[in-house]
Amino acid sequence: MITKYLSLFERLFLDVRFEPTTAHNLAQGVGIVTLFVVSFFLFFVVKQLLKRFVGRWIRKSKTRFDDYLLGKKLERRIAFLIPIYMIKGLLYEVAPDLDTITSFIIVWTRVGEVTTYTGIILSFLDTISDMYNSFDVSKNKPLKGLVQVIKIILIIICVLLIIAVLTNKDLANIFIGLGTLSAVLMLVFKDPILGFVGGIQLTSNDMVRIGDWIVKGNADGTVIDMGLTTVKVKNWDNTITTIPTYSLISDPFINWRGMAESGGRRIARAIIIDVDTVKFCTPEMIERYKKFQLITKYITETEQAVEEYNKENSVDTSTLVNGRRQTNLGIFRAYLTEYLKCNPNLNHDLTMLVRQRDPTEYGIPLQIYCFSAKTDWVSYEAIQNDIFDHIYAVVKQFDLRVFQRPSSHSMNEASEH
């Protein structure tokens, strides 16, 4: 069939008075063009058939793996094998005498064969990665870095095979030649190698997972992607920060996962008490404070212990300095402690206290140290704000004052008086 087709064109070229050799070569050239046209026509036909019928069958199947194959250009890469093998198998029959041209085409056909098979394998790797990422275990043990390493190795092998085809040399000889370029390759692939090592350490030591809240440098947000060389963090302002994977091994960073898993998020905020408002409690103040239900029992028991101590030690109570006495700040601390114990939004299994910090030029810092029962940001802030709203409102009931710098309005009022 092919011989008759070529003979027909050869006779046509002879009829228009071409030289026999020229007519023969032109006929073979037309045969090559026709072979390319038919091959790529079959490529488009097969690609559409695979896309339509195989795609329909995949959607109806119950397995999940073939569903992930859709959209990976697999049908195009498989269909591309048809023109490759058609040209490779029929080229010498179509143009047996055009050695230079056929050799050139065969070489590039083999290049296309190598790249096509590499693309098919890469499609399967992407499918495996996507399917693995659909499981919850992928958040704890991400596979993306390993898949990227395998891809790099495949691409390197593909490039080496193409070089072997183009230079018509054995792959072993090319590997021997590359030995002299190992230092250059190490320099070129330094970041992927360090990233691969860092990714293995991060995964094996369970240091970072997708979804973790981490803080490192300008990055402060949730990990959304872990690759071979980079980790992407979505900050709370919705910006994206990219961190080199290896830097998470070489430099310290904060991972808030432990806080989320502990069931409590720390509240450690202080108010500044004006020193001038701290004083011993008078009997009138004690009676007034006893009306505060949270500390009625505390004040009664403490007052009884104070009286017994002063009586046993024959203390002259006519002077406030002598003996033991309750202070409004001490009673306020006891009130805040009981208030925290009664707050249902706090985790009572974790540390909970009210403590004084070192005094400053502004006053006495009184710190609330406890843990909220909810760890998400919105709930945490709401719980913390409710606590301090109450503290700022109730502190005056204990004859105390929170320090704040005078404003211009306060200075104007003072000058008017």
For residue 207, how many C-alpha atoms fall within 13 Å in the half-sphere facing its CB? 21
In a domain, 49, yes or no: yes
Same domain, 304 and 385: yes
Same domain, 313 and 381: yes
Q: How far apart are the first and last CA of the chain?
A: 117
Higher-pLDDT residue of 315 and 272 is 272
In a domain, 85, yes or no: yes
pLDDT at 405 over 80: no
Same domain, 9 and 88: yes
Model pLDDT, residue 151: 82
Model pLDDT, residue 165: 80
In a domain, 365, yes or no: yes
* Count of residues in the chain: 417
CA-closest candidate to residue 127, choices 221, 76, 200, 64: 64
Looking at 97-111, 164-178, 371-385, 389-403, which range is the least confident one? 164-178
Q: Domain with 229 in it: what CATH number? A: 2.30.30.60
Mean pLDDT value of segment 376-405 = 92
Query: At 167, is the pLDDT very low, low, confident or very high (cuts 50, 70, 90)?
Result: confident
What's this model's pTM, rounded to 2 decimal places? 0.53
Same domain, 22 and 110: yes
Same domain, 123 and 249: no
Same domain, 71 and 104: yes
Same domain, 83 and 210: no
In a domain, 342, yes or no: yes
Question: Where in 55-186 does DSSP place strands (E)?
Answer: none
The number of domains in the chain is: 3
In a domain, 177, yes or no: no
Digit-coded pLDDT (tens) for 64-123: 655 556 666 677 777 888 888 888 877 777 776 667 777 788 888 888 888 888 888 888
Alpha helices (H) along 218-295: 247-250, 257-262, 283-289
Which residue among 88, 109, 134 closes a domain? 134
In a domain, 308, yes or no: yes
Full 3-state SS string of 284-331: HHHHHHCCCHHHHHHHHHHHHHHHHHHHHCCCCCCCCCCCCCCEHHHH
Looking at 188-197, 342-351, 358-367, which range is the least confident one? 188-197
Same domain, 56 and 10: yes
Model pLDDT, residue 37: 82
CA-closest candidate to residue 189, choices 159, 169, 217: 159
Tokens read off for 120: 């098919």
Q: Report phi then psi at 95, rounded to 5.
A: -135, 70
Cβ 240 vs Cβ 223: under 8 Å: no
Same domain, 253 and 289: no
In a domain, 144, yes or no: no
% of the chain exceeding 90 in pLDDT: 27
Angle at 311 between CA 307 and CA 316, to 5 degrees: 95
Same domain, 274 and 396: yes
In a domain, 195, yes or no: no
Higher-pLDDT residue of 37 and 371 is 371
pLDDT at 361 over 70: yes
Same domain, 269 and 402: yes
Mean pLDDT value of segment 332-354 = 93
Same domain, 363 and 342: yes
Model pLDDT, residue 371: 93
Tokens read off for 115: 């790249």
Distance in angstroms (rounded) separating the CA atoms of residues 363 and 299: 25
Domain that holds residue 227: 203-261
Model pLDDT, residue 2: 53
Question: Of the ranges 256-265, 317-326, 375-384, which is most confident?
Answer: 375-384
Mean of the per-residue pLDDT values for the chain? Answer: 80
Q: Report phi then psi at 189, rounded to 5.
A: -100, 25
Q: Between the CA of residue 16 and those of 9, 10, 20, 108, what are the distances in Å?
A: 11, 10, 11, 34
Which residue among 261, 276, 298 closes a domain? 261
